[in-house]
Amino acid sequence: MKLALRELRRRPSRFAVAAGVLTLIVVLLSFLGGLLDGLFLGSTGALSAQRADVFVYSANSRDSFLRSRIEPDVRAEVAAVEGVDTVGGLGIGLLTAAVPGQQDPADVALIGFEQPATGIPAPPPDGQAFADRRLETAGVRVGQTLEIGRSRTPIRVVGWVRDSNYLLQGGLWVNADTWRATVSAARPDLRVADGVMQVLVVSGSGTPASLAERIDAATAGATRSLSRDDAILSIPGTKEQRSTFLQIIFTTLAVAAMVIGLFFSLLTLERTGLYGVLKALGSSSRQLFGGVVAQAVLVTVVALVIGEILTIGLTAIAPSSIPIELTASRSAFVAVGMLAASVAGSVVSLRRVVRIDPASAIGTSS
């Protein structure tokens, strides 16, 4: 092991190619992960910000906000369920907004809400909205009055919020009455009657699953309740998006394992003579293989550090239209994945190390 580490220190150039390739793989993985997280958050931020255990849809909605309607009587039934602490209404309308001084309208997700969410304070007064920072790139500024939809309903932006978008459209957070009025005016086909919301966000005691079950039982099948994670994944396209990205990410990790496997098996092949001598001197296969694994892991660690730094640098200069989101948990995922790939890759050399015959050190002439 000590021998392997000393080789790394004395002859770093031998490992430079492998470290370089692995660094590029780390950058690729971090970007893919960052894009996945960015797109995912851009699609689902409005829901993941909710401090709720369960989302309650109407039974016939097929888990879609747009189709779901919760009438006041159903809401009262939900609120009366044992263990339910808070109930808030939520509604989303995908609309366009005319921005003063801008030629192109901005795509907005007009979100009506009743309870503060993570990073989002209590609902503003009528006719006012909190806008997501995402809308800044469309020219939206605090203090402006936007005109929503064909009805040109005026809404004044009074503050910024973050990570609160829906289906990659900038979140515009208004109170429930403003939401109903605006959506009904802009899209008469989606008219929402007084007191009606699309979905209820509920928090309460017990597991989300049991809470959901109790709620659906209490409304006699008028509702369909989902845990927060299920509600997020029911947003159109998110599941597919995530599984596509994860497939690319895991394929890339497999490529990393192959790179490490190939590199270290070539290195082991080159060291056959040396390993023969070391075995003749009494080294065990375990000692020698441990050295190979240690080198693979260390080269990977170096690649991870350089790759992460490069990713942070590249993200900083990337145009803001690319929705990259770098998170500590994604970095940890990449790190764990790469380290697992390095160990898996070095296992390829195990058989070769074991099969080296110590007697080969002493010549084969007789």
Partner 1 sequence: MTALELRDVGKIYGSDENRVVALEHATLSVADDEMLALLGPSGSGKTTLLSIAGGLLSPTSGRVEVGGQDISAFNASQLNRFRRESVGFVFQQVNLVPFLTARENLMVVDEISGARSGRASAGRADQLLGELGLAERGENMPNELSGGERQRVAVGRALMNEPRLVLIDEPTSALDTQLGNQVMELIRQEIKERGTAAVIVTHDTRMIHYCDRTVSIVDGVLRDDAGASAAH
Binding site residues, partner 1, CB under 8 A = 2-3, 6-7, 10-11, 273-274, 277-284, 287, 358-359, 361-366
Query: Residue for token digits 């907005």?
Result: 108
Q: Measured from the CB atom, is 7 or 107 closer to partner 1?
A: 7
Pick the closer one to partner 1 by CB: 321 or 364.
364
User: Residue 127 or residue 358: which is nearer to partner 1 going by CB?
Assistant: 358
CB-wise, 190 or 274, nearer to partner 1? 274
**Least distance between partner 1 and beta carbon 168 (Å):** 54
List, as one string, the DSSP characters of 163-178.
S--BTTBEEEEEEHHH
> For residue 294, what are the CA distances in angstroms to 3, 7, 291, 351?
10, 11, 5, 17
Taken in order 115, 119, 122, 123, the sign of the CA dihedral is negative
- Beta strands (DSSP E) in 214-349 are 223-227
Q: Taking the complex as a whole, how short is the minimal distance between the CB of residue 334 and partner 1, in angstroms?
A: 31
CB of 273 to partner 1, least distance (A): 7
- Measured in Å, how far apart are the chain's first and last C-alpha atoms? 33
SS3 111: strand
Provide, rounded to whole angstroms, the least separation between the CB of residue 326 and partner 1. 38
Compute the distance between CA of residue 190 and CA of residue 187 in angstroms, rounded to an integer: 5
Least distance (Å) between residue 352 CB and partner 1? 17
> Closest CB to partner 1 among 321 and 366?
366
Specify the residue, 10 or 101, whose C-beta has the smaller distance to partner 1. 10
Cβ-based neighbour number of residue 265 at 10 Å? 19
**Min separation Cβ 286 and partner 1, Å:** 10
Nearer to partner 1, 8 or 318 (CB): 8
DSSP 8-class letter at 140: -
Question: Residue 203, by phi and psi: left (phi above 0), alpha (psi -120 to 50) or beta?
Answer: beta
Q: Closest distance between partner 1 and the C-beta of residue 15, in Å?
A: 12
DSSP state letters, 45-72: HHHHT---SEEEEEGGGTT-TTT--B-H
